């Protein structure tokens, strides 16, 4: 599978350029045919949607060592240990960052987490090729992140359909009204609104509230980024979020299980 070169300009463009460089190295080691064989042998993916739609606010808890905006966040020598703490606290799903350069993640982290938890697992990365979707499934992911800002309409459609064919759930991420319309046109059943503009890394805490009415009525609605306290989580829930995706606050909390439990208790119906 060939990879289309992309011009750089924004932070998102620069991240994707690095992702594609690292991807080419993995493609030299593992042929796509081998991934497809692995997909056929692995257990079927878990469906997270019923749990994400449950009463109260669901939490997608993220294994996150670093970020382009904040730099180093936490060491996380064993991501499985952290993921088990998340699950013990009541996390509905675990998000594992697998991007290497800016987030210091890896597919090995995904493998470790998938092996040790029973809840659905999201591969969180800058997915722009079919190969990456196949990688996600071959390594046990139940969900894959598709960032609308990183994809044109044909790419988004292709990756979304492949994700569905493999039995996985696509978390389709948007940041603007135009991106929300594209997600709706795709028929996305799980949509995340990122408060962080990935092109500039600026955060708008009100972005979820501004866009939630433009998301498909039947979609699971997820608030992403900028949620640092229990009060932030409660505000997202009151604005219409079915779930939140939280990383930084959890890895810095000292007691992530208690943090998740507090969020769940504060938003219980």
Q: What is the pLDDT of residues 114-149, one digit of tens each?
A: 999 999 999 999 999 999 999 999 999 999 999 999
3-class secondary structure, 49: helix
Residue 145: how many other CB atoms lie within 10 Å: 24
> CA torsion sign, 57 to 260 to 51 to 268?
negative
Tell me which residue of 82, 10, 45, 69 sits closest to 201, measured CA to CA.
Answer: 69
Domain count for the chain, please give it.
1
Please report how many Cα atoms fall inside a 13 Å half-sphere around the Cα of residue 1, on the Cβ side. 18
Catalytic residue IDs: 62, 64, 124, 173, 194, 224-225
Percent over 90 (pLDDT), the chain: 96
Domain limits for position 55: 9-264
Q: Which residue has the tokens 């990183």?
A: 150
Residue 2 in any domain: the answer is no
Tell me which residue of 124, 80, 131 sits closest to 105, measured CA to CA.
Answer: 124
**144: CB partners within 8 A, 6+ apart:** 122, 123, 127, 132, 133, 136, 137, 163, 168, 169, 170, 171
Q: Which residue has the tokens 């982290």?
A: 109
pTM comes to: 0.95
User: Tens of pLDDT along 60-110?
Assistant: 999 999 999 999 999 999 999 999 999 999 999 999 999 999 999 999 999
CATH number of domain containing 35: 3.20.20.70
Residue 38 in any domain: the answer is yes
Please report how many Cα atoms fall inside a 13 Å half-sphere around the Cα of residue 109, on the Cβ side. 26
- Give residue 16's pLDDT: 97
- Give residue 8's pLDDT: 55
């Amino acid at each position: 599978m060939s990879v289309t070169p992309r011009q750089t300009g924004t932070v998102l463009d620069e991240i994707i350029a690095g992702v594609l460089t690292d991807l080419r190295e993995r493609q030299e080691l593992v042929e796509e045919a081998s991934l497809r064989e692995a997909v056929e042998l692995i257990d079927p993916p878990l469906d997270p949607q019923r749990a994400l739609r449950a009463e109260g606010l669901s939490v997608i808890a993220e294994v996150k060592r670093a970020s382009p905006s904040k730099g180093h966040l936490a060491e996380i020598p064993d991501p499985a240990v952290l993921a088990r703490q998340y699950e013990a606290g009541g996390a509905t799903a675990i998000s594992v960052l697998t991007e290497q350069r800016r987030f210091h993640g890896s597919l090995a982290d995904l493998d470790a987490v998938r092996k040790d938890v029973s809840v659905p697992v999201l591969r969180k990365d800058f997915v722009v090729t079919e190969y990456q979707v196949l990688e996600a499934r071959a390594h046990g992911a139940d969900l894959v992140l598709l960032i609308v800002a990183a994809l044109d309409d044909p790419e988004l459609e292709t990756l979304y359909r492949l994700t569905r064919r493999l039995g996985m759930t696509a978390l389709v991420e948007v940041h603007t009204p135009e991106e929300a319309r594209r997600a709706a046109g795709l028929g996305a059943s799980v949509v995340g609104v990122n408060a962080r503009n990935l092109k500039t890394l600026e955060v708008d805490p009100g972005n979820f509230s501004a866009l939630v009415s433009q998301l498909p009525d039947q979609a699971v609605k997820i608030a992403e980024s900028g949620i640092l306290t229990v009060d932030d989580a409660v505000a997202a829930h009151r604005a219409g979020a079915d779930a939140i995706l939280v990383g930084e606050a959890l890895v810095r909390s000292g007691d992530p299980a208690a943090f998740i439990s507090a969020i769940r208790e504060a938003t219980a119906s």
